[in-house]
Structure 1
Amino acid sequence: MDLLVNLYSRKLEELGERTTGVEATIRVALPPEMHIIQNWVREHFSEYWVSELTVAMAHQPPGCLVAIVDGKLVGFACYDATAKGFFGPTGVDESQRGKGIGLALFHRTLVAMKAQGYAYAVIGSAGPIDFYKNAVGALPIPSDSEDIYQGLLRIKKPLVED
């Protein structure tokens, strides 16, 4: 299900207030770091997300933010990867979840989108729907189970014989 976020909503400001104490540095990724971020995303998430990350990094400024704790990459969030105005993909290392890093990445990415002139953000095929609804009041976009990812080419893994 796709969700819509109003970037002029008071809830976005409130999210910023709730994430001010997060103990991670959140910043725009730098192009020379792309291979590090790609390898990290490949290891922790998926090759599909590596593809989206690569597209987001090709923009100027890069459409990828990173979360760093003690000099180590622990999370990322992209926008304008699969389509203009889309938030995601995004992810946080399992060991760092529950510390507000995902919320801080979400907030800072939406603020970056707003600064580039977007009034709304689309969260395509949103995984944790309640997370986004609670964070910024994201609303479901009505559809007949159709989205931009419909018909996406997938790699089929061969069956392993015993």
Structure 2
Amino acid sequence: MIDMLVRLLELPASDELVKRVEDQGIIIRRARPYEKHIVANWAEENFAPKWKSEVEIACTRQPVTCYIATKDKKILGFACYDSTAKAYFGPTGVSESARGTGIGKALLFKCLEGLREQGYVYGIIGGVGPKEFYEKACGAIEIPGSDPGIYVDILPG
């Protein structure tokens, strides 16, 4: 899986994206350290066991580098940055029932803004699945020679 590069300096603000999601009764916010086990377990149950570890790391950062989308106190999606590696976005996931609501793009932009606030000029989207989504959403471009990237010699489990 390839990695992609995003120029953070020209990133548009996420305010409008977040507002469209919030108009649906969905809250986009940083996870809180005391919610680490809840968010990490949700990521593991809905996506991948290894993502649990990355969420746990993101929830120990100050500020927390994991955003979540909730509705009626239930998690609908999450996204992390600066967890797998410095300047990296991911992992991220939105529950099947909430796809198409704009949550994924809103979470992406909140995380990219978080990277920019930490002083990064470029962000890396690691091990990209939906390449076209990132190209369209934030102008991400493929990093030549990035496959296999840092995701090599991954332990099973």
Q: What TM-score, normalized to structure 1?
A: 0.89
2: CA distance between counterparts of 1:34 and 1:144? 31
Amino acid of the structure 2 residue aligned with 1:29: A
Q: Indicate the SS of the match to 2:68.
A: strand
1:115 aligns with one of 103, 108, 117: 117
For residue 14 of structure 1, report the CA deviation from its aligned partner: 6.5
1:97-130, Cα deviation, whole Å (9 max, x unpaired):
0110101101111111111111111001111000
1:31 aligns with one of 16, 30, 33: 33
2: CA distance between counterparts of 1:53 and 1:29? 10
5 Å-filtered alignment, 1:148-159, equals: 148-155=150-157
Q: Percent same amino acid at aligned positions?
A: 46
Aligned length: 153
2: CA distance between counterparts of 1:66 and 1:53? 11
Backbone CA RMSD of aligned residues:
1.5
Contact 1:77/1:106, CA 8 A, preserved across alignment:
yes
1: CA distance between counterparts of 2:15 and 2:32? 23
Other-structure match for 1:78: 80
Gaps in structure 1 of 5+ consecutive residues? 156-162
1:35-85, Cα deviation, whole Å (9 max, x unpaired):
111111111011110011111111111110110112211110000111000
Gaps in structure 2 of 5+ consecutive residues? none
Other-structure match for 1:5: 6
Rg: which structure is higher?
A: 1
Other-structure match for 1:141: 143
For residue 151 of structure 1, report the CA deviation from its aligned partner: 1.4
1: CA distance between counterparts of 2:90 and 2:147? 19
2: CA distance between counterparts of 1:113 and 1:124? 14
Taking a change above 3 Å as real, the CA distance of residues 54 and 25 of structure 1, as seen in their structure-2 partners, is same
5 Å-filtered alignment, 1:14-53, equals: 16-22=15-21, 23=24, 24-53=26-55
Amino acid of the structure 1 residue aligned with 2:125: I
